[in-house]
Homo-oligomer: A and B are copies of this chain.
Amino acid sequence: MSAAMNVQDIPSLKIRPEDNVSVILRPGGLGAGAALDEGIILREDVPFGHKVALEDIPAGGAIIRYGVTIGIADQALPRGSWVNEHRLHLPPAPALADLPPPAPQPAAGPPLEGCTFEGYRNADGSVGTRNLLAISTSVQCVAGVVDQLVRRVEAELLPRYPNVDGVVALNHAYGCGVAINAPDAVIPIRTLQNLALNPNFGGEVMVVSLGCEKLRPEWLLPEGDGNATMLALQDPALTGFAAMTDALMEQAEEHLERLNRRRRETCPASDLVVGVQCGGSDAFSGVTANPVIGAAADLIVRAGGSIMFSEVTEVRDAVHLLSPRCADDEVWQALAREMAWYDAYLERGGADRSANTTPGNKAGGLSGIVEKSLGSVAKSGSSPLVDVIAPGERLRRKGLTFAATPAGDFVCGTLQLASGMNLHIFSTGRGTPYNLSVAPTLKVATNSDLARRWHDLMDFDAGRVVTEGATIEALGMELFRLILDSASGRTATAADRLGISNDLVLFNPAPVT
């Protein structure tokens, strides 16, 4: 993956003809006096990934990248100036009242036939990419007991059930803290309900509860599921800790016996449910990794599969570019509704979408949330938007869905799992060891420098768009093939090989008591 830097002679990159800034491509940046292709001489040092003014931008003038105003200059920025977050302010977010309506979109391409992967087919028609025993919890009080149970299952039971890939605890921080009747508490509750139904758990629902919690454990049981089990530690029949864990081990074994009988079978790529996300973004996210992910997303949609993209605060400023892609008025209204809900949620807390960008984003050349958003939505590819779902809702349609979630990495990943994700694609420019244990998580580097330094933590180098002149389309196809391989269990992800993964994090916009 450590590609040779053979296109370092391109000093900077302009995306659209109407842009008045370009981004420095030269590793290490360029010094004052250096000349760009456009005949522009840098007036000062400009770091790698940062922007240069291609024309004289007056104070109050628009700074245009991706053909869109990403900021308003706070000072005059003569040709060759460094354009950074200290020299501009954000334009207002697009008004939700007059978003462009749905408009006919060119198809992303003809249907893609014959693409398959090896998956675990479930009774409800969904397909797992892993064969895991999940242990749901209704309250954090039981987490210590469940953690110990997981260790015992791994040591004592799993060796006897070799077709089961592992056991995961769906621990979380809620159950009694959450104000269960507050309007927004519906979000963590349905997230927990739907998490247990993730296709990678084979329809086996095992719930461990305490007994006195506000989040009633029976809410976590699918209706009429004769195989589901539930145990309350406060059950008066359980005397002492050994009785609790023995009863839980017995229940776990029931589930493992059924899971162990499952085998992978050839499934069409239309059974893929891929969630895309980015974290630790830089100025290349929107040029390399996210467009490559978008190209792979288009291939999955053409193969009849499902793509979820998310992260409301990274879509908010690009929503006027998405709204014409809505398949119908209902989707268009749902898109505006989710944006409005989030605007209000942030406002209640004294924040707005500008709270999204990180110091790392800015050091990486992103001057604000508008620029970040324009790069972020590239992950969605070019397919029509067939649905918009609220945080933690289950996916309803094949094709491209906007699953409204916060942009915080683990909150977003957890919500996508609850929506039914069976494979996860994550792009990063600054680098993160992010991993979920529930579904294969492929990490795509936006630049080859990161792919080289983090050679054992990254799965895919999209920086080759810059360093090797690879096309978005070619890398999109390569990523698509890696997705099919990973979904089939043929290729372990980088983080899985290293044995690192992160806990799930529930999104709870309700207060705690």
Which A positions have Cβ atoms within 8 angstroms of B? Answer: 140-145, 147-148, 171, 173-174, 176-184, 210-214, 216, 233-234, 236, 238-242, 279-280, 313, 345-346, 348-351, 353, 355-356, 358-361, 363-364, 406-411, 430-435, 453-457, 495, 498-503, 505, 507, 509-513
Is B144 touching A453 in the complex (CB atoms < 8 A)? no
- B183, B214, B280: which contacts A212 (Cβ < 8 A)? B280
Is B457 touching A241 in the complex (CB atoms < 8 A)? yes
21 contacts between A and B (CB under 8 A): A140-B409, A141-B279, A141-B433, A142-B433, A144-B501, A179-B349, A182-B349, A210-B430, A213-B359, A214-B358, A234-B280, A236-B453, A239-B453, A240-B457, A241-B500, A348-B348, A349-B511, A406-B512, A407-B513, A408-B512, A507-B512
**Bound-state Cα–Cα, A183 to B171, Å:** 29
Report the minimal beta-carbon distance from A447 to chain B, rounded to whole angstroms.
12
Measured between beta carbons, the chain B residues less than 8 angstroms from A171 are 503
Is B453 touching A238 in the complex (CB atoms < 8 A)? yes
Measured between beta carbons, the chain B residues less than 8 angstroms from A453 are 236, 238-240
**What 3 pairs between A and B have smallest CB-CB spacing?**
A212-B360, A177-B408, A349-B511
Is B349 touching A434 in the complex (CB atoms < 8 A)? no
Is A213 touching B141 in the complex (CB atoms < 8 A)? no
Measured between beta carbons, the chain B residues less than 8 angstroms from A435 are 144
Report the minimal beta-carbon distance from A142 to chain B, rounded to whole angstroms.
7
- B239, B407, B513: which contacts A356 (Cβ < 8 A)? B513
Measured between beta carbons, the chain B residues less than 8 angstroms from A180 are 355
Measured between beta carbons, the chain B residues less than 8 angstroms from A176 are 279, 358, 408-409
Measured between beta carbons, the chain B residues less than 8 angstroms from A145 are 433, 500
Report the minimal beta-carbon distance from A353 to chain B, rounded to whole angstroms.
7
Measured between beta carbons, the chain B residues less than 8 angstroms from A432 are 141, 210
Nearest B residue to A141 by beta-carbon distance? B432
Is B140 touching A513 in the complex (CB atoms < 8 A)? no
Is B511 touching A509 in the complex (CB atoms < 8 A)? yes
Most buried by B among A177, A360, A512: A512
Assuming A140-B502, A140-B505, A148-B499, is B513 touching A212 (CB within 8 A)?
A: no
Report the minimal beta-carbon distance from A90 to chain B, rounded to whole angstroms.
14
Given A212-B280, A234-B280: 11 more A-B contacts, CB < 8 Å: A148-B500, A173-B410, A177-B408, A177-B505, A179-B346, A210-B430, A234-B360, A234-B430, A241-B454, A346-B511, A408-B512
Is A513 touching B183 in the complex (CB atoms < 8 A)? no
- B350, B351, B455: which contacts A513 (Cβ < 8 A)? B351
Report the minimal beta-carbon distance from A451 to chain B, rounded to whole angstroms.
12
Nearest B residue to A214 by beta-carbon distance? B358
Is B280 touching A210 in the complex (CB atoms < 8 A)? yes
Nearest B residue to A347 by beta-carbon distance? B511
Measured between beta carbons, the chain B residues less than 8 angstroms from A356 are 513
Is B513 touching A346 in the complex (CB atoms < 8 A)? yes
Measured between beta carbons, the chain B residues less than 8 angstroms from A349 are 179, 182-184, 509-511
Is A181 touching B141 in the complex (CB atoms < 8 A)? no
Measured between beta carbons, the chain B residues less than 8 angstroms from A407 are 177, 513
Measured between beta carbons, the chain B residues less than 8 angstroms from A179 are 346, 349, 351, 355
Measured between beta carbons, the chain B residues less than 8 angstroms from A509 are 349, 511
Is B456 touching A351 in the complex (CB atoms < 8 A)? no
Measured between beta carbons, the chain B residues less than 8 angstroms from A430 are 210-212, 234
**Bound-state Cα–Cα, A359 to B210, Å:** 12
Measured between beta carbons, the chain B residues less than 8 angstroms from A183 are 349-350
Report the minimal beta-carbon distance from A239 to chain B, rounded to whole angstroms.
5
Report the minimal beta-carbon distance from A393 to chain B, rounded to whole angstroms.
18
Is A502 touching B355 in the complex (CB atoms < 8 A)? no
Measured between beta carbons, the chain B residues less than 8 angstroms from A148 are 498-500
Measured between beta carbons, the chain B residues less than 8 angstroms from A214 are 358-359
**Bound-state Cα–Cα, A363 to B500, Å:** 42
Assuming A141-B433, A240-B454, is B502 touching A213 (CB within 8 A)?
A: no
